Amino acid sequence: MSATVFAVLRRDLLLALRQRGDIANTVLFFFVVVAMVPLAVGPEPKTLRLIAPGMVWVAALLAAILSLPRLFAHDHADGTLEQLLLTGEPLVVIVLAKCAAHWLATGLPITLLAAVFGVVFDLGTDVTRVLVATLLLGTPALSLLGAVGASLTLGLRGGGVLVALLVLPLYVPALIFGAGAVDAVAGGLSAQGHLLVLGALSLGASVLAPWAIAAALRISLE
Amino acid sequence: MTATATSDSLSIFRFASPPEFYRLAGWLAPWFAVLAALLAAIGLYLGFFVAPTDAQQGDVYRVIFIHVPAAWMAMFLYLVMAFWAGVGLVFNTRLSSLLAHAIAPTGALMAALALWTGAFWGRPTWGTYWVWDARLTSTLILLFLYLGYLALVAAIDEPRRADRASAVLALVGAVNVPIIYFSVKWWNTLHQGSSIGPGSGQMARSMLAAMLVMVFAVWMYCIAVILIRVRAVILERERTAGWAQAVATAAS
């Protein structure tokens, strides 16, 4: 079983490395969206410091949604996905490995880039550290829940917008606790509770979501 | 002998067949509609003529007799929808999926009604149509979940795939509804303390009675409308079947 995990993980990461542009575009999109906000609300540092965690998190959600088609659409188009379903290896494990690869290719770069925003918006070391920690703990849940939407809308017309509509309401808890943790630290409180819940969301999603994704893939491909 | 015994013990599953349920729903719907009308008449009478004027909010509070039933039904119907969608997914019964499809628009309507009446209630009492209160926000997200479900059903051309894909979505949503509800609650209490919302004081007994009667009235209304809609959904799905064409020609 671990051989399956490593094989799928290695393949997806290799593909991601070969198509570096895709990852770069997601990260660039994240950067550009956050950079748009000061232009909209004005350059006042105090205001920006106040809203920075929220807008970084919203931008992370949007970037996660935009990166979802990478997850299954290419494999669906060239028939790889059907081969994966036919391998006889548990589909839940394959799906989990694919989500892990997706997170390593998109969630992790976004998390690392968030540290830059800590500097740009003058958040201070402590707040920046928590911002990065929330994204590190929360983005796995974004990949997993997003994969549910991606597998349900596989091969549909207008799939991109539909995925956003299906998945964004499911992202609400991660958004609340992610941005909330940063707010708490900025306000002088402990972020421990938020971070624990965020970790729990990701762990819970990694247990439950693969079953839903596997079921959805079987439905989409039958 | 065994054949009749089996069919007797399974007689209730007879209604899992679309034509049978089409007839059953047609027979049941008027009864539920009548029940809804009667209960609404009693509830509205109690609400408008028996229940006293609220000491703090005046007569504005009377919107509660629509607002609370709609909000409760919005949450309840999501679970009912997820239940029937799940039954359809597990037992592969077409009718269960059709029932789930028929429930979704009514659920969305109830969520929208709860938000709408809430806005009209909020304006005179809170001074604003909308606040980012925990309950308002979670009802809004519930509405988004309903709309996502409807959008997914509409986007898939192949009916059986639509049934099963939307069932997975409904089940994922049902698992998430409590998580969303409590995280939104925590988010709000962290930010602005307790809300100025209603329910902080004790309710007069006649107000409560009127509200509960209205809850049952709205419940019966939902059942009646869902049964009528499921008839339409069944006919649409079975349009190539002989019995459905016979029904359609008889009606036209």
ipTM: 0.89
Residue B58 is given by DSSP the state: B
Segment B160-218, tens digit of pLDDT: 999 999 999 999 999 988 888 888 877 765 544 434 444 445 567 788 888 899 999 99
Kindly report the nearest CA distance between residue B16 and chain A, in angstroms: 22
Scan residues 162-181 of B and list those with Cβ closer than 8 Å to A.
164-165, 168-169, 171-173, 175-176, 179-180
Q: Which of residues 72-111 of B touch A (CB under 8 A)?
A: 89
* pLDDT for the residue numbered B115: 92
Mean pLDDT of A88-93: 89
Interface test with B, best of A91, A170, A203, A220 (most B CBs within 10 A): A170
How much of chain A is helix, strand and coil, in % rounded to 5?
85, 0, 15
Which residues of chain B does A201 touch, with a Cβ-Cβ cutoff of 8 Å? 179
Reported as a single tens digit per residue, the pLDDT across A15-68 is 988 888 888 899 999 999 998 988 998 888 888 888 888 899 999 999 999 989
Amino acid residing at B73: M
CA–centroid distance for B102 within its chain: 10
**Whole domain around residue A178: which residue ranges?**
2-221
Radius of gyration of chain A (CA): 18
* CA pair distance A195, A169, nearest whole angstrom: 20
Contact B172 A180 (CB under 8 A): no
State the total domains in chain A: 1
pLDDT in tens, B130-149: 887 777 888 999 999 999 99
Contacts of B145 in chain A (CB under 8 A): 169
Q: How far is CA A145 from the centre of its chain?
A: 9
All residues of chain B having their beta carbon less than 8 Å from the beta carbon of residue A158 are 155
CB contact under 8 A, B186 and A184: no
Long-range interactions of B80-83: CB distance < 8 A, separation 24+: B81/B107, B81/B149, B81/B170, B82/B170, B82/B171, B82/B173, B82/B174
pLDDT digits (tens, 9 = 90+) for A102-157: 999 999 999 999 988 888 888 888 889 999 999 999 999 999 999 999 999 988 87
Token pair, residue A63, equals 């970037």
Q: How far is Cα B111 from Cα B147, in angstroms, rounded to an integer?
A: 10
Please report the domains of chain B, with CATH numbers, ordered by start residue: 29-241 (1.20.120)
Q: Is the dihedral of CA B177, B180, B183, B184 positive or negative?
A: negative
Other CB atoms within 10 Å distance of the CB of residue B147: 17
Classify B81 as helix, strand or coil.
helix
